[in-house]
Amino acid sequence: MSTQTYHTHGKVYLVGAGPGDPDLITVKGAGVLKKADVIVYDRLANPELLAMTSDRSEHLYVGKRPDKPSVSQSQINRILVAKAREGKVVARLKGGDPFVFGRGGEECEALKAANISFEVVPGISSALAAPAFAGIPVTHRKVARSFTVVTGHTVRNADTFANWEHLVNADTLVILMGVKSLPKIAETLTRLGRPSDTPVSVIQQATYPSQQTVLGTLETIAEEAESLSPPATIVIGELAAKSSELAWFNSKTGESVQQETISNSRPRAQFAG
């Protein structure tokens, strides 16, 4: 049994903010925000969640912006440690789930090394929420018995598509942080043997009023989704085509209506977008 001793006066909670819609934060996550002394939050955490915090709480923005100067991960680690050592309860608010491509593991390692007590509050990952809000089940007894989640961006960009051979036969492939690499993703999977007519859906700004879904195939999706920008989630596999059949989310009302899905092989239909 571990005999690790922690400082008793401060604690860090790594809280998953969910995919965007503030209503999708967990009850426990909302409770942590209400009691925290310091909120250290990311770019993809909906700012509306800050309304749940105490009036006395300190808010520190540490979001990373693509290709722009941002707070480094080592700086974020130092902030978490320093605030906890001041005796503060710190909520590290991260988009999606802290342990799904959220660097939560790195932050926990830094906290443990500094003898800081911490707790992880899981959140709803966009790997699940984005397909769901586009009407795409990631598994289906008759179609897909499993799904695989990967990143389209790595620390060393040259390694992003290393060892993708094992992904060719994935029933449903969900790719986060990959919209900028979509042409390369489609080319790589096709070259490795995935049929070029495999359905692909790209969901931009999932769960937000600006949500849009683009449907195509590995052959056409790079062109079809050219206008989309991050954050976006890519779904590849037979179930991706369900976005033209099961879409339920009206971003403006939340009622069951069709959303705008763009497809090169189908006439444009009215979906919630």
Give the catalytic positions in this structure. Answer: 42, 64, 177
Tell me which amino acid residue 224 is: E
Q: With b meaning 16 or more CB within 10 Å and e meaning fewer, what string describes 218-246?
A: bbbbbebbeebebbbbbbbbebbbbbbee
Q: Which residues contact 195 (CB under 8 A, 6 or more apart)?
A: 218
**Which residue bears the tokens 């052959």?**
219
Strand partners, 261: 213, 269
Give the span between the Cα atoms of 21 and 252, in whole angstroms. 12
Dihedral-angle region of residue 52 (phi above 0 means left; psi in -120 to 50 means alpha; beta otherwise): alpha
Cα(181)–Cα(57) distance, integer angstroms? 39
Copy the structure tokens of residue 3.
């005999």
